[in-house]
Amino acid sequence: MTTRGTVLLIEDEEAIADLVRMYFEQEGYRLIHAADGEAGLAAVRDRSPRVVLLDLGLPGVDGIEVCRRIRAQSDIPVIMLTARDAEVDKIVGLEIGADDYVTKPFSPRELVARVRVVLRRSEEAPRIPSVIEVDGWEIDTGRREVRPPQGEPIRPTAREFDLLWYLADNRGLVLSRSQILEAVWGYDYFGETRTVDVHVRQLRKKLDGIPIETVWGVGYRVAD
């Protein structure tokens, strides 16, 4: 079977790793497994996976720190696997750059579906490279970078860029969180609308002064 590419699973539970491997290999992916954070970081560096599945509760270097180190050097998609139900853990993962999260116990089929969505969104090439200008900011979909009125270009994560592009491309319109989830995360996204709030907050931190307005009780807009 032709491989769809390499998936890196950083997970200390062998039983989970074996189950995930079976499902991904059935779908044509090559899965490599790292049992701790340090081994996972080495695999990111040496094996160039298309996506990382990252357990939050790793021994030693935990998943939050692993994600932080990955984001310091790469924009590879990261999906966090967590047994924790607390919303704050999910938010922390998203704030440091994870693209999605799955709470254990999870369906392996759902995990495969999420990987497909994340890869499609992160690797899908724009059909017509173009630039949208918003209040002096240039959002360049060809280079997938944002150029502020002054200073050096900034490259948000793939998900953050897609979110910003969607808001800017529909500037003047108030977009609900559900609309944004469907357009940016995909119709088969399994998450919560809170995810949108976290990513907007991250965009505002990285792009200080970007004119994304909150419309309370509804969603967000970029002023026309």
Which pLDDT band holds residue 104 (cuts at 50, 70, 90)? confident
Q: Does domain 131-222 have CATH number 1.20.1250.20?
A: no
Question: In the CATH scheme, what is the code of domain 6-123?
Answer: 3.40.50.2300
Sequence spans of domains, the chain: 6-123, 131-222
Ranges 92-101, 156-165, 197-206: which has the least confidence: 92-101
> What pairing do the DSSP bridges indicate for beta strands 6-10 and 51-55?
parallel
Q: What is the pLDDT of residues 165-217, one digit of tens each?
A: 999 989 889 999 888 888 887 755 555 677 888 899 989 999 988 999 999 98
> Which residues 6+ apart lie within 8 Å of 116 measured at CB?
none
More confident residue, 126 or 96: 96
In whole numbers, what is the pLDDT of the chain averaged over residues?
86
DSSP 166: H
More confident residue, 178 or 22: 22
Check if the beta carbon of residue 134 is closer than 8 Å to that of residue 222: yes
Separation CA 175–CA 169 (nearest Å): 11
**pTM of the model as a whole:** 0.68
